[in-house]
Each structure stands twice: as structure tokens, then as C-alpha cells.
Chains A and B, each alone.
Chain A
Amino acid sequence: MFKKTFAAVAAVAMTLTLAACSDDAEKPAPTDVTTTDTTSTETPLPERGDADLVIWADANRTAALEAPLKAWADANGIKAVVYTIATDLQANFVTANQAQNGPDIVIGAQDWTGKLVQNSAIVPVQISATGVAQSAIEAVSYGGQTYGAPYAIETLGLFANNTLTNVPAPATIEDMIAAAQAGGSAGVAENPLCLQVGTTGDAYHMQPFFTSGGGYIFGTNADGSYNTKDVGVGSEGGIAAAKKIAELGASGVLKTSIDGSNSTSLFNEGKCAYLVSGPWALAAMRDANVDFALSQIPGFAGMGPAVPPLGVQAFFVASNAKNPAYAQQFLTDLLKDTTITKAMNSVDARIPVQDALATELQSSDPVLMQFLDFAEHAAAMPNIPAMDAVWGPLGNAEASVVGGNDPTTAMTAAGNEISSAVNG
């Protein structure tokens, strides 16, 4: 009995210390493992081996990067590898880098920038931005310094199943719901809309509705930087947005049972008339031969426009990189021309940041390039570390509102929670 008790206690202590003490802290899964174990805190780190350049990325990007990376490495006469870190890439990278066991480069979203800088995990890079979207460079800049090489942007759009609705591009959310309820040639869908909420919320995917209703995350100072004192979640606008979201929850348009794991597949199976998702959903949708249309996410009738979040994917050089010279050289070569980015795009379609590649894709994949238009109406996710304190409570509050809790109470509490976490 004591053995078991202590084993359990030890598990607690171990979980913490494994992450805590820098020597044993690394836990990501090796490249070819697709783990469903969300608690995989004990999976071993990928071996560095004798590679001259080690890159960590998520599964999508590993698949896309493998071939072009090999070509680049061969051209430079070195050995380069890319590993998939299936869960918590950011946290694993920070911890492993601190322990000198990390990679030379990590691929992540621009909203990591502040957090990675805060933890001294990355070093700035001076890159030539010729032919690269200025907004993408700004997204990976923090405190007046550029930290990464952006290679793709992504945002959300509205997919419509043409057999389940006759309105491919509704002008308002209300129109969208009406069209879904009217149905299409294949009848009425089980769910009017697939927008992943889950029991704990998904603030990223809810952002278009939240902004249309009048919500915002942080206010901005006169110089354009974020004012963390002005938290928009519990503000009047935030509460107004939550009330609209609550209405959608009450009428069954938004559901906590639709989450990241089933949202796209439900749409592909014809169980949703509309889907809010990004370019990453395209591949599966094409494989499933869904007759779909893509349009900009509408806002609520008579309210503000829906502003989807803009994400920028970038390569960052680790501060404790074992091969800093090759890493920096890779970042330079990445944006020098479109060799690498084009090869990546052919496997994992994203909106390119390079003008040259964008022009090229305009003709070969016009559907994908629609996202480029949406991106113009999108707002970059703030890249300050304070964002960490936002996604959780905001998502939680939205999920609880969808579930029927009082919007004012939920958003006020979330606003206070964020405010106290950010401002002490």
C-alpha cells in the first residue's frame, strides 16, 4: 500500500522535477511518432546525433521540410535533420534549449516570439526582407528587433459545403445560419456550423466572432505597442461579443462538443454546412472530395467586421544552438529565393510571405490564395508574453458562455484573471 501511495506521490514529484531540473527536462517525442497521448511528459528527446543542423517542428512542417532540407544540406556538404515534436513544441524547446540539449532551429508561430525572448531562448537574426511581406517581418519583431525568418502566414476562413447550403459566401452570421437551416441539394446538415470550441474553449477560432461582437484582447498605445493595462476581454465590447456568442450557443450553432479533434472531419463527412478553419484543412477536404466554397468569415449583422487572427510561421535560431553558423546561414538562404519555401508549400499548403511565390501560387492554387485576401482583414496575434495569460481564460470563458453561463459574469471574471496575471 505504501509503495503505491509513494509511487503516486513520486509521479507528482517526478512530473514536476522532470520539467524543472534542467538535466532531465527534455521530453519531446521522436520524429516519426504520432502520439495521441496528451500527457506524454516522459517520451524521450530526439537524439542530436552527429547532425550539423537540427531543426524541431510540428508534424506538418516536418513532412514539408524534409526534402528541401536534405537538398540544402547536400548542397552545403553537411548533414541536417528535422524532428517532429508532437506535443508542446514551444515548452519543450525552451526547456531543452536551457539544458543545452535543444535544436539549432525551431519552427513556430510569431506569437511565441515574446515568450521565447523572455526566456532567452532565441537570438535575433538580421535578414534581408526584400520581397518579403513587411507585416510578416513585423510579426516576428519584438522590442525593435527581428527574431525569426517568417516563411508562411495563415488565417481563418469560412468553408461552405455546397451540397448543404445554397449560400457559399454569406454576408452575415445570421445569413449563414439561415442558409444552413434552409439546407441545400443534399438536405439540411446536422450542424449548421463547425467551429471548434471544446469543453475548455478555443479562443483562436472564436476570435472572428469575438471581434465582430466588439471584443478585443489588448488595447494599443499611441506608438502601436500593446497596452496590457487595457484588457478588452471583460470590457463592454468583450461582454457584448460574449452575449452574441451566448445566443449562438443557446440556439445550438456553437457547441462545446465540437472540438479540434472532430471539427474538420465532421465537415468532411457532410455533418456541417459551414466550417471555420484555416489553410491546413484544405488537404483533407480535397482528399475527401468535398464540394466546398471558401469565403471570408462574416460578422454579426449590424456589428463590426469579423477580424480573424493572423498567424505567421517562422524559423527561429536557438540561443544555445550547437551549430549557430549553419542555422543562421539556413535562415538567410530560406528567404534568398523560393527554392525551400516552394518545396515546403507543395507538401503543406500555407500562404507564402514571399511576393514571388505568392504570384506563382496565384495561378496554381487560387483557393489557397484566397486566404491571402482574408489575411488583409486579419490582425496579427500579439507576440508579447502576456498573450500566454490570455488564451486560456478567454477560451474558458467563451466555452462556458457557449455552455449557457452568464456572459457578463464569465467575461468579467476572465478579464480580471488576465489582468491580474499580466499586471500582478
Chain B
Amino acid sequence: MSDAPAETTATPSNGTLPRERNTGTLGLIGKVILLGAVLALAVYALPLLIEYELWMWLAVMIAATVGIFIIYSTKRFIPGKYLFPGTLLLSVFLVIPVVLTVGYSFTNFGDGSRGSKQETIDSIIVSSVQQTPDSKWYHMSVAVEDGDAAERGPYTLFLIAESDDSDTVMFGLDDSELAQWSGESPTIIDHTVTAVPGYQILTRAEINSNMARIQEVWIRIPGTEDASIKVQGFRAFEGRATMDYDSENDRFVRNDGTVYPLQLVGDSYCYSDPTDSSQCYQGRSWLQNVGLRNYTKLLTDSNIRGQFLGAFSWTLVFALGSVALTFIVGFFLALTLNDERIKGKKLWRSFLLLPYAVPGMISLLIWSGFFNPQTNPFGWSIDWLADPTLAKIAVFIAQLWMGFPYMFIVCTGALQSIPADVKEAASIDGSSGLSTTFRIILPLLLVSVAPLLVASFAFNFNNFNAIQLLTQGGPVLEGQFTRGGTDILISMIYKRAFGGSGADFGFAASLSVLLFILTGVLAAFQFRITKKLEDMA
């Protein structure tokens, strides 16, 4: 954190004057421009956030803007000026996602339960609209009376049946019955009403943008109870909703009398299918709180728990193994190239850095091709990625290739900082080359490199790309369907949330929370180890 220099950099020792001097005209202009930009951004974002109803982000934005103004427009809050950017980014990119993930882990969020209950009810009704058996299709014109706004209505629909060559004009208002138009004679072009005295006919663009309101216009078909004019595109037909929501009993009733009662199915409430009460009607439910059920499923379902533990132990092996392998190779190469007898060190070092310079994504895709007998250029017939053990070895090989240059750089740097007289003293004391390396150089090197090893472990612990791009978690393990042979925790969670078998965000969120806790514990543990090493030094 960069709060330390706040007081020390700006002020020489003699009192309060100099700070004034530092904020010259240029500084003031800079400040005004920056604060102005912040304000402009906020003003720009405000209506957008309101339009998309992103209330939480609206609150964050307002708080951030107010915070920026309070902290940066005055001369006070010096430490705050330095702390604020970091804190803001931390909360936006870390705290909020974590809070949201934890929140979702207590819900059934997933396929069939993404929206609100009202959205589900509305959608069931809309989806049930059917054409009446003898439905006519109409050329539709939408009109408002002169003086009314096209955006507001009330709308009058002028309809000419497509089957009617005599162009009889029908019309209807909201909550009325379809009737023949007997007012002043309308202009008809191409079977469509284009002008009616006293009315303003909406353009197609106006119909398009006001569709939601136009579709609410309810014009009953004469001689029926519940059939009405339904608008589709720039045409209309006679139809009826076959599902009716009974708000009193909170259930659906189909027009043939079938009842779809509210029922608990699995974790969630929904309107259950009368033919099979263990299923939700069309699989539709809505976002709801399920309490701790995601966590109990995780802890009590032996299959899921087994997969989680299996993935966890492989994740540890993968992370530790990656660090150990890359370190050993990197250290050995650094040691070799640190010897005075080697010629062309710079050239060798540049070569060794090449794998590090290639984007990881590309390396991984190339390696995945190498391990496939169909596409590898060496004529190997071994299908590395088909066997769980070989696939794991393949993962390590790719990891080693991509990771050793980093360890090589780090070790080279650390080796060069070890004073030559240490080695000299060791050799004078009669230590052999090997024992000097392992008893003297390595411990000294570890003091500076250990924190990086720990960081590398933590990085690999959640190294999603290394698995997903190389093996996609495969091969398949017998009888297991969420976890493949090389799936680490994070790639398993990804499959659970976004994989082929339907989105299950709620459950995946609970897995993430568990992973979060695990990583936290590991980090604390590593922190202690590093501290010990520092104490040693």
C-alpha cells in the first residue's frame, strides 16, 4: 500500500507554507479538469444506470463520486488521497463480486430460475396464447386521436382482414369489442388503413417502439368470452391465452380446467405439472432463497463431496508440482548459466526466456496439439490426453515449459545478489562444489525467492487456463461427470456453472465460496512459512 510517502514527499521541514506553493495554477487547473471529468462521467452514467435499473451500481457510483469530491477538492484528508483509488478498485472489483457470489450461493439461481416470479407468470401467460380455431389475420394500423401522443395512446386499432377483398374496416379500442368502423371514411392503400380523419396513424417505427403498450390493448372478438385481437409484428390475429393465473390461490388454471398448483419441487417453488408433480411446469421456476441447501448438498451428497475432494487433492498436487518442477529446472539452469566458464551467457539466457515470451494461451493450444497423436508433428502414437495419468503428466510438461523461464529469471537475479566472497569462504573452508550449492547458496537464495514460490503456488492453485486450454479437464473418469481426470477445483466449478448440463449458478457459487475460504486458509498458512524464512535471514 502506498500511503507512506504522503506526508514526507511534499513538505520540507519548515512549516505550512510550501504546501501552498505546490498547488500552483497548473495544479489547480489539473484538479479542476480531473474532477470535472469525474463529474462528467457520473452525469453520463447516471441516466444509463437508472434506465437499466442497476441500483447497486448507481449507489456505488454516487458514493464514489461524492467521495472523490470530498477527498480531492479540499486540502485535507492527505492519507485519504492516496488510499482512495486502491480502496475504490478493491471494493468494485473484489468486495462486490465476493459479496454477490456469497449472496447467490444462498439462492437457486440457474436455468429456469433466473428471473422474478412475476416475470415467470407473465411469460407463462404470453407463451400460452394460441390462435382461435377459425382465427383471421388482419392488416393492422394503429392510431391515436389527433392531439394524443404516439408514445402514450390511447390506441385505436384499425384492422382489415387479410381474407377480405372488400376492405371492410374493423376497429377497436382498449377494453372494447371488435366492431365495424362506421365513422368518416378512411383512406386505404394496399388493404391497409393509412389515414382516418381525426386520427393520426402511427408509423411502423412508432409501432415498433411502442409495441409493449400496443400489445396490451384488449379488443374482444364478438361472440367469444376470452378471445381477443393479438398483435404480432404489423399484423394481428384472433387468439386467446390458454393459461390463466389465479392470483387468489397462486396457481395456474388451463382453459380446459387443468390446475397447476404451487408446489415445492427440489429446492424451489414452482407451478407443478399436473401429470407429474415432481416436475415444474415447463421447467419454469424463479429466483428464490434456498437458505443453506446448496451447502448441505455439497457436504452431504457423497458423490459431489467425493468429486470436490478428488479435485481438491489434484489441485494441491498440480499447484505444488508445477512450482517444484519449474523451480528445480529454473534453478538448475540459472546455476549453470551463472558459472563464469560458460560462454555466450547473454545469448543462452535470451533463448531460455523465449517460452515465457509466447502468450500462454498459444503455448497451451500448441501443446494440446503435440499431445494428440492425430496432430502432433513427431509421429507419437501415444494418446496422452486419453489416459488420466498420462494427461496429468502432459499437464506438468506444459506447465514446466511455460513456467521455468520465470523461475530462471528469478533465480538468476537472486544468485547474482549473493556475494562472491560467501562462495570463496566456503571453498576455503573445504566445502565441495555440491555442498556449497545446497548448503550455502540454496538457503540464501530461498530467502529472497520463497515468497515468489508461494505466490506462484497460489497462482497455479486457480490456474484455470492451464487446464481448460490443454485438456478441458479431460479425460473422463469412470463414473464421474462433473470432474475429469485433470480438473482442478476452479475448472470443475466452471463446468458446474457454465457447462453443458445446464447453468447452476447458485450451487457453483457455493463451491466458489468454499474455494475462496480454502484459498484464504492456504494463503494464511503460506504467509506464516514466508515469515519464518524471513526470520531465518
Chain A residues within CB distance 8 Å of chain B:
1-2, 4-6, 8-21, 23, 36-39, 41, 52, 76-78, 88, 91, 94-95, 98-101, 114-115, 117-120, 123-126, 142-145, 191, 198-201, 228, 255-259, 262, 266, 271, 319, 323-329, 331-332, 384-386, 388-389, 391-393, 395-397, 399-400, 403, 405-406, 409-410, 413-414, 417, 421, 423-424
Bound CA span A91–B282, Å: 18
Chain B nearest CB, measured from A389 CB (Å): 5
B516 contacts partner chain A, Cβ-Cβ < 8 Å: yes
Q: Find the A residue at minimum CB distance from B280.
A: A118
State the 4 A-B residue pairs at the shortest beta-carbon distance, nearest first: A199-B474, A328-B233, A120-B123, A329-B233
**Residues in A neighbouring B471, C-beta threshold 8 A:** 199
12 contacts between A and B (CB under 8 A): A5-B522, A9-B515, A15-B494, A20-B104, A39-B464, A115-B111, A118-B112, A120-B284, A200-B474, A200-B476, A319-B123, A400-B476
Is the beta-carbon distance between A38 and B508 smaller than 8 angstroms?
Answer: no
Is the beta-carbon distance between B372 and A119 smaller than 8 angstroms?
Answer: no
Is the beta-carbon distance between A143 and B476 smaller than 8 angstroms?
Answer: no
Is the beta-carbon distance between B372 and A1 smaller than 8 angstroms?
Answer: no
Known: A126-B131, A405-B478. 18 other contacts (CB 8 A): A1-B526, A9-B515, A13-B97, A16-B493, A17-B104, A23-B52, A78-B205, A95-B114, A98-B115, A119-B114, A120-B119, A120-B122, A255-B373, A325-B211, A326-B233, A388-B502, A396-B481, A405-B476
Is the beta-carbon distance between A17 and B100 smaller than 8 angstroms?
Answer: yes
Q: Find the B residue at minimum CB distance from A398.
A: B476
Bound CA span A107–B372, Å: 33
Is the beta-carbon distance between B512 and A13 smaller than 8 angstroms?
Answer: yes
Is the beta-carbon distance between A124 and B127 smaller than 8 angstroms?
Answer: yes
B363 contacts partner chain A, Cβ-Cβ < 8 Å: no
A326's partner among B208, B372, B475 (CB-CB below 8 A) is B208
| Contact status of A257 and B208, CB under 8 A, knowing A120-B119, A391-B500, A410-B478 | no
Is the beta-carbon distance between B498 and A88 smaller than 8 angstroms?
Answer: yes
Bound CA span A338–B231, Å: 25
Is the beta-carbon distance between A262 and B475 smaller than 8 angstroms?
Answer: no
Is the beta-carbon distance between B476 and A399 smaller than 8 angstroms?
Answer: yes
Is the beta-carbon distance between B476 and A1 smaller than 8 angstroms?
Answer: no
Q: Find the A residue at minimum CB distance from B129.
A: A124
**Residues in B neighbouring A325, C-beta threshold 8 A:** 204, 207-208, 211, 233-234
B465 contacts partner chain A, Cβ-Cβ < 8 Å: yes
Interface residues of B in 123-176 (CB under 8 A from A): 123, 126-131
**Residues in A neighbouring B352, C-beta threshold 8 A:** none
**Residues in A neighbouring B387, C-beta threshold 8 A:** 403
0/1 string, B368-382, CB within 8 A of A gives 1: 000011110000000
Is the beta-carbon distance between A392 and B499 smaller than 8 angstroms?
Answer: yes
Q: Find the B residue at minimum CB distance from A77.
A: B204
Bound CA span A414–B476, Å: 11
Bound CA span A393–B479, Å: 9
Is the beta-carbon distance between A12 and B204 smaller than 8 angstroms?
Answer: no
Best-surrounded residue of A15, A409, A417 (most CB of chain B within 10 A):
A15
Bound CA span A54–B283, Å: 28
**Residues in B neighbouring A259, C-beta threshold 8 A:** 372
B512's partner among A16, A41, A118, A126 (CB-CB below 8 A) is A16
Chain B: interface residue total (CB-CB under 8 A): 104
Is the beta-carbon distance between B101 and A16 smaller than 8 angstroms?
Answer: yes
Bound CA span A399–B388, Å: 13
**Residues in A neighbouring B459, C-beta threshold 8 A:** 4, 8
**Residues in B neighbouring A124, C-beta threshold 8 A:** 126-127, 129
Bound CA span A307–B479, Å: 26
Interface residues of B in 73-107 (CB under 8 A from A): 93-94, 96-98, 100-101, 104
Is the beta-carbon distance between B112 and A119 smaller than 8 angstroms?
Answer: yes
**Residues in A neighbouring B114, C-beta threshold 8 A:** 94-95, 98, 119-120
Is the beta-carbon distance between B476 and A389 smaller than 8 angstroms?
Answer: no
B353 contacts partner chain A, Cβ-Cβ < 8 Å: no
B505 contacts partner chain A, Cβ-Cβ < 8 Å: yes
**Residues in B neighbouring A20, C-beta threshold 8 A:** 100-101, 104, 109, 505, 509
Is the beta-carbon distance between A257 and B516 smaller than 8 angstroms?
Answer: no
| Contact status of A118 and B282, CB under 8 A, knowing A4-B458, A12-B512, A88-B498 | yes
| Contact status of A16 and B478, CB under 8 A, knowing A8-B459, A120-B284 | no
B530 contacts partner chain A, Cβ-Cβ < 8 Å: yes
Bound CA span A354–B470, Å: 43
Best-surrounded residue of A9, A117, A417 (most CB of chain B within 10 A):
A9
Q: Find the A residue at minimum CB distance from B120.
A: A120
**Residues in A neighbouring B526, C-beta threshold 8 A:** 1, 5
Bound CA span A414–B480, Å: 8
B408 contacts partner chain A, Cβ-Cβ < 8 Å: no
Chain B nearest CB, measured from A102 CB (Å): 12
Is the beta-carbon distance between B509 and A16 smaller than 8 angstroms?
Answer: yes
B468 contacts partner chain A, Cβ-Cβ < 8 Å: yes
Bound CA span A327–B234, Å: 10
**Residues in B neighbouring A424, C-beta threshold 8 A:** 265-266, 278
B481's partner among A8, A10, A393 (CB-CB below 8 A) is A393
**Residues in A neighbouring B385, C-beta threshold 8 A:** 199, 256-257
**Residues in B neighbouring A388, C-beta threshold 8 A:** 111, 500-502
Bound CA span A324–B208, Å: 6
Bound CA span A14–B94, Å: 8
Chain B nearest CB, measured from A64 CB (Å): 23
B324 contacts partner chain A, Cβ-Cβ < 8 Å: no
B386's partner among A98, A256, A262, A329 (CB-CB below 8 A) is A256
Bound CA span A402–B121, Å: 45
**Residues in A neighbouring B383, C-beta threshold 8 A:** 255-257
**Residues in A neighbouring B519, C-beta threshold 8 A:** 5, 8-9
B328 contacts partner chain A, Cβ-Cβ < 8 Å: no
Bound CA span A11–B93, Å: 9
Is the beta-carbon distance between B478 and A406 smaller than 8 angstroms?
Answer: yes
Is the beta-carbon distance between A257 and B372 smaller than 8 angstroms?
Answer: yes
Interface residues of B in 218-247 (CB under 8 A from A): 230, 232-235, 237, 239
Chain A nearest CB, measured from B395 CB (Å): 13
Best-surrounded residue of A119, A259, A331 (most CB of chain B within 10 A):
A119
0/1 string, B461-488, CB within 8 A of A gives 1: 1101100110111111111110010000
Is the beta-carbon distance between A126 and B283 smaller than 8 angstroms?
Answer: no
Q: Find the B residue at minimum CB distance from A115.
A: B111
| Contact status of A1 and B481, CB under 8 A, knowing A20-B109, A118-B284 | no
Is the beta-carbon distance between B472 and A199 smaller than 8 angstroms?
Answer: yes
B497 contacts partner chain A, Cβ-Cβ < 8 Å: yes
Q: Find the B residue at minimum CB distance from A223.
A: B275
Chain A nearest CB, measured from B111 CB (Å): 6
B57 contacts partner chain A, Cβ-Cβ < 8 Å: yes
Bound CA span A38–B52, Å: 29
Is the beta-carbon distance between B100 and A4 smaller than 8 angstroms?
Answer: no
| Contact status of A9 and B462, CB under 8 A, knowing A126-B239, A325-B234 | yes
Is the beta-carbon distance between A400 and B130 smaller than 8 angstroms?
Answer: no
Chain A nearest CB, measured from B85 CB (Å): 15
Is the beta-carbon distance between A328 and B497 smaller than 8 angstroms?
Answer: no
**Residues in A neighbouring B209, C-beta threshold 8 A:** 323
Is the beta-carbon distance between A125 and B232 smaller than 8 angstroms?
Answer: yes
| Contact status of A16 and B497, CB under 8 A, knowing A118-B283, A397-B476 | yes
B475's partner among A52, A114, A199 (CB-CB below 8 A) is A199
Is the beta-carbon distance between B97 and A14 smaller than 8 angstroms?
Answer: yes
B68 contacts partner chain A, Cβ-Cβ < 8 Å: no
Is the beta-carbon distance between B476 and A323 smaller than 8 angstroms?
Answer: no
Bound CA span A269–B130, Å: 52
**Residues in B neighbouring A145, C-beta threshold 8 A:** 127-128, 130
Bound CA span A271–B379, Å: 14
Is the beta-carbon distance between A262 and B476 smaller than 8 angstroms?
Answer: no
**Residues in B neighbouring A100, C-beta threshold 8 A:** 52
